[in-house]
Structure 1
Amino acid sequence: MEEHDISIIGGSMAGFLAGISACENGIYPTIFEEHDKVGKFGKCTGVMSLNGMKSFNIDYKKCVSNYVNGAFIYFDDSEIKVEAKQDVASILYRQELDELLADIAVQKGCQIKTEEKFSKGIQENEKIKFKTNKGEYSTNYLIGCDGANSSVSANFDFPKLGKYDYAICNEIEITNITPRDKKKVEVFLDNQVLKGFFGWSVPVNEETMRIGFGVTDPLLFAESKKKFFEFKQIKPHLEKGKTLREFSYVIPINVRSQTQKQKIFLAGDSAGQVKATTGGGVIFGGNCAKIAGKVAALKTDDYELQWRKKYGSMLNTHRTIRKMLDFPNNFFLNFGLTGFKLLGGSFWLSHFGDMDFITNKTRIEVN
């Protein structure tokens, strides 16, 4: 049986950041990835805040396709325009970012084992023993960074999320079209068509967009897709453009009530460390993964306490805003957003808004 100090399940961004953090604190982990290559294969819209990306201290600019400075938020027949004086987010090629982090992890001292899928494990005293499709292992710490449908979470009986704590999403990348504004993301709020989540259109460059939507009820997915693709801002792009790829995925939009069992940690999507407002999990999940790697390396065993103290309240704020947006019908949603607009909401978001930490005045440093 092969022995390790730290084993990380999942070869994507959270797993690599956990591994890099462990290496920087003196322990060199092994990362297990079930596919024949690392990464999410681009199954990510790739909108990431510039402030948040700074926290990872990596040169990721070669992975950027575009920068944006705001958004058009559509509801009913109205819109709210949000525009900062400078760029606030980057549009990334996610697979390139994952591969960049994999290279950094290996350079730091991580070992990556591909085509090894976690199957089952048990905790015996101070050791965790687990199996993959290729072998048996013993480890002092196990960090599950294996996504929304985490096998680590299921195997070790972590509390489950609720039925509607996931957004079921579909996205199309389409080219030969012209975005309304290359510097603006488009957001669609409609609680009849897009119940529990929202729709989006993201400018990748001058002629390519990523158009997608999500709902929290799987039974509504097919009908929601049909209706969303008929929206007046979306339909012309689908009719004129050329589809490069289409994919579906699941995002957790609530945090698990427990993410640590002794020396077994969950980080990233597997822990639900995702903004419920947008489904963005890279910034919070990535920084929580860094904490997991450091805690395992230093053997302080206070991962849950550390990450909740640093990021828990802000993730709860995103969850509260999501609940506020989930009005039972569009009348109340439109009434609330119209009032927000009349009270200067566009100005407030443009000057004080922050994608991750809600407002610049409440922003905390991520490091």
Structure 2
Amino acid sequence: MSNRELDAAGITDPDLRAAYAASKAINASHGRTYFLATRLLPIADRPAVHALYGFARVADDIVDGTLPKSEQTMELLALQRTMWDGDQPVLRALADTVRRYRIDRQLFTDFLSSMRMDLHVKQYETYAELAEYVYGSASVIGLQMLPVLGTVSPRKEAEPYAAALGEAFQLTNFLRDVGEDLDRGRVYLPMDELAAFGVDRDRLRWARRTGRHDPYVRRALAHMVARTLAIYRRAEPGIEMLRPWSRPCVSTAARLYRGILDEIVAADYEVLNRRAVVPTGQRLMVALPAATKAAGQNARAWALRLTSRPRSPRSASIGVPGSDSSAVKSHRRISLGE
């Protein structure tokens, strides 16, 4: 992590600086879309975002590891017991970020609860069942981010939109990775809705194995893409509730991730044997104008920080909004994006 980011955030302790640097390295390595969007945030807010991503990735890597399920469960439980102790760099950065931004700790407990579900739940019979998993694995990510992004209206009003955007990101992951997840024995699409289109696990396996176009699978996926697009539309008003200098970041992430659905449609829903990816050129076309806009907004944010009334050391050190209404909150399981 650059010294400029850490200096701007008021992070001076050498151990903490190293901890945040470790989290940033994880984000840069695994969170391609998310890392790109993070670069559009004010420089003082970026370390907190790296810390949140780093923690989520640590948990996800436990679940995707090769240890027996019983040992993975024990590792997740140990992570939950020790995540505020700061006994490893990523956890030190997380604890500091949660303290600085006053993020609700229950959100991290809910996240780890969904991670444990991945160790024993291989499919979800209804969308209501899937929604419970999605809340803990994705919606809480949006809620964790909200205090960092800041809002221009009471934070409670923005929370449903932040949760919906996390849900949309996660459902996009499921649609993009359906073939890979099937190889791992998991199906993250509601089984009753698949059945309504004449699709079951065996049919998905057949399409995956043969590579043949299946009109039944296509119709089922088209239905689920349409629903996910509707959730993006439902989440969109929340972007205007954010601080102006946070909007380019979130808007860019939403456009890039929604672009994955466009690629799925363009491929005629052939996702079982190919991974829908937004081309690099298109990613740059979305990101570069946003970067220009963000530069102006970030300059304004910095000017306001310099001219605002003094705050308590804890808030002033990282530019935390003075109140909820201040104008100044993996892989497939991590809705942060890749």
What's the TM-score, normalizing by structure 1?
0.24
Bigger share in helix: 2
What's the TM-score, normalizing by structure 2?
0.25
Bigger share in strand: 1
Q: Relative contact order, CA 8 A, sep 6+: which one is greater?
A: 2
